[in-house]
Amino acid sequence: AQSVTQLDSQVPVFEEAPVELRCNYSSSVSVYLFWYVQYPNQGLQLLLKYLSGSTLVKGINGFEAEFNKSQTSFHLRKPSVHISDTAEYFCAVRKAGTALIFGKGTTLSVSS
Amino acid sequence: DAGVIQSPRHEVTEMGQEVTLRCKPISGHNSLFWYRQTMMRGLELLIYFNNNVPIDDSGMPEDRFSAKMPNASFSTLKIQPSEPRDSAVYFCASQNPSGGLTDTQYFGPGTRLTVL
């Protein structure tokens, strides 16, 4: 069975600092990987997705993620965060015939 | 496009009452998903439909929960009778048919349900 582990439940950072949100997945078959963001009192919005090809994926709002097959990881990064990046971030995995499986989420808190 | 529309945005009810949550997917999307989000369990898939047909309802907690999709533009999630442990935010999402497995799911704003 598939599963997704987000290693940090909360990540506090200062504005303009770099950030990495970690995600590991377990699956015996090839999967597709996603990062979603949820701003307060809103639904989820797709940040980026890895389907195939280049392992470095660029998304919206300056975020990027790197797929590492050997480490079964898909960590999300941003070189310089803003206050407006404060939100909850979800890693998700999907394989053929199934719906998305989400991690528990990581709360990113950016302060000045 | 207006995006995925959910109603109501907030619902407060008493234990034992029937609750109906509604969802209107993005026009042209033929896959629809219902999720539940709680602090304890995170975001869980309850059920999803393709072309109005339920494909996987293994996430539906128990018989008190039921979901329907009578046409391509409307779906309901019903809880009868409701219990305090059903309190959560319920999300609906829809997906474009052309992209298949890899395409993006678009989420609605959610319904925050509180059962007293």
What's the pLDDT tens digit per position in A21-79? 999 998 767 788 999 999 988 889 999 999 888 889 999 999 999 999 889 999 999 99
Structure tokens given for B16: 């034992």
Structure tokens given for A3: 């599963």
Q: Which residue would you say has higher pLDDT here, A95 or A54?
A: A54
Residue type present at position B94:
S
Residue in A closest to B39 by C-alpha = A104
The alpha-carbon gap from B116 to the nearest alpha carbon of chain A, in Å, equals 21
Q: Which residue would you say has higher pLDDT here, A4 or A30?
A: A4
CB contact set of B38 (below 8 Å; sequence gap of 6+): B44, B87, B88, B89
Give the residue-averaged pLDDT of B13-19: 97
Rounded mean pLDDT of chain B? Answer: 91
Residue type present at position B73:
S
Structure tokens given for B14: 């008493």
pLDDT of B8: 96
pLDDT of B54: 92
Choose among A43, A51, A100: nearest Cβ to B45: A100
The closest of B9, B7, B29, B8 to B73, measured between CA atoms, is B29
pLDDT of A99: 76
CB B107 within 8 A of CB B97: no
- Put simply, the answer to whether B43 touches A102 (Cβ < 8 Å) is yes
Residue in B closest to A92 by C-alpha = B43
Reply yes or no on whether the pLDDT at A98 is more than 80: no
Q: Using a CB–CB cutoff of 8 Å, tell me whether A60 touches chain B.
A: no
pLDDT of A97: 63
Structure tokens given for B45: 């898939």
Q: How far apart are CA B116 and CA B36, in angstroms?
A: 18
Q: Mark which residues 35-54 of A lie under 8 Å from B by CB.
A: 36, 41-46, 49, 51
pLDDT of B98: 62
Reply yes or no on whether the pLDDT at A95 is more than 80: no
pLDDT in tens, B37-87: 998 888 899 999 989 999 888 889 889 999 999 999 999 999 999 999 999
Residue type present at position B74:
F
CB A48 within 8 A of CB A58: yes
* b/e map A69-95, b = 16+ CB within 10 Å: eeebbbbbebeebeeebbbbbbbbbbe
Q: Which residue would you say has higher pLDDT here, A26 or B20?
A: B20
Reply yes or no on whether the pLDDT at B111 is more than 90: yes
Structure tokens given for B101: 């497995």
**Mutant choice from B41, B92, B105 vs A, greatest count of A C-beta within 10 A:** B105
- Put simply, the answer to whether B45 touches A42 (Cβ < 8 Å) is no
- Put simply, the answer to whether A99 touches B4 (Cβ < 8 Å) is no
pLDDT of B18: 97
pLDDT of B102: 61
The per-residue DSSP string of chain B comes to ----EEE-SEEEE-TT--EEEEEEPPTT--EEEEEEEETTTEEEEEEEEETTEEEE-TT--STTEEEEEEETTEEEEEESS--GGG-EEEEEEEE-GGGGGGSPEEE---EEEEE-
Please give the angle made by the CA atoms of A37, A7 and A87, to the nearest 5 degrees: 25
